[in-house]
Amino acid sequence: MAERLVNLAKVFVGFIRGGMALVNIVASTMFGCISGSSVADTAAVGAVMIPQMIKNGYPRLFAVNVTISGSLQPLLLPPSHNMIIYSLAAGGTISVAQLFMGGVIPALLLGLSLIVLVLIIAHREKFPKGEVVPLRQALKIALDAVWGLITIVIILGGILTGIFTPTESAAVACVYAFCVTMFIYRDCKVARPAAADRARDPDGRDGHDHDRILDRLARWRSMQSARRPNLQIAICRGDREIRS
């Protein structure tokens, strides 16, 4: 889901000088409206954007700093976990919905200030420009990201309209995200049962892993032989017996 939000952000700002950094910030804004967590935002967006920025010629430190700075937005954007915890700590005297609405403008101002700063640095350092996404491909990317954007509607719409409590909206959003990931995007697959692995290999061994273990044992034998020339080690492939 994070990767599709990143692709959607590329449609809007990816063609500008320093566009990859701008994509990082905009994607953090959109993903923050889903996760409400800076840690989740850093892990999801950073895993996609940092390697891409480095590959496109951005300094490694700059890519990391942009990701960290952009990931501060979920602290202010609804559904911020911090706001929910603050409301609970206050004994429910402060409405979660009011906290959410109060955080929108500061979060957008934070994102806008980061964008302005990135534009200044990008022009000063002559960072590369991206390519304009063709209209047909842009529509395809937008349609593909709609399923992820619906998660924002479920969370914020449910809380602000009073249909869900914050806990209930989180549960519904988790179930929805699971169904979208498994059955629509198909990014995750069910792990194969152990019985299927045993049927594939009756001995319960993976040939590649077996060879890798034998290779490590051979290296260890060479190291030991160099240290103690009189040491004799025999490795039997059949029964995996090591004699010393």
- Report residue 240's pLDDT band, with 50, 70 and 90 as the boundaries: very low
Longest dimension (CA), the chain: 79
H or E segment at 212?
A: helix 207-227
Residue listed under structure tokens 């700002």: 13
pLDDT of residue 124: 93
- Report residue 238's pLDDT band, with 50, 70 and 90 as the boundaries: very low
Separation of CA 59 from chain center: 20
Report the C-alpha gap between 111 and 105 in whole angstroms: 10
| Class of residue 238 by CB neighbours under 10 A (exposed 0-12, middle 13-18, buried 19+) | exposed
pLDDT of residue 68: 93
Task: Give residue-wise pLDDT tens across range 117-144.
Answer: 999 999 999 998 888 889 899 999 999 8
Which tokens is 51 given? 């390697």
Give me the mean pLDDT over the 73-79 stretch.
89
Return the percentage of the chain with pLDDT > 90, whole number.
28
Which tokens is 16 given? 């500008």
Average pLDDT, the chain: 81
Where are the chain's structural domains?
Answer: 2-185, 199-243
Task: Give residue-wise pLDDT tens across range 155-189.
Answer: 888 887 888 887 788 788 888 888 888 888 877 66
In the chain, what are the helix, strand and coil shares in percent, each to the nearest 5? 70, 5, 25
pLDDT of residue 34: 85
Report the C-alpha gap between 164 and 158 in whole angstroms: 5
Number of H helices, E strands in the chain: 11, 2
Task: Give residue-wise pLDDT tens across range 16-51.
Answer: 999 999 999 999 998 888 888 899 899 989 998 999
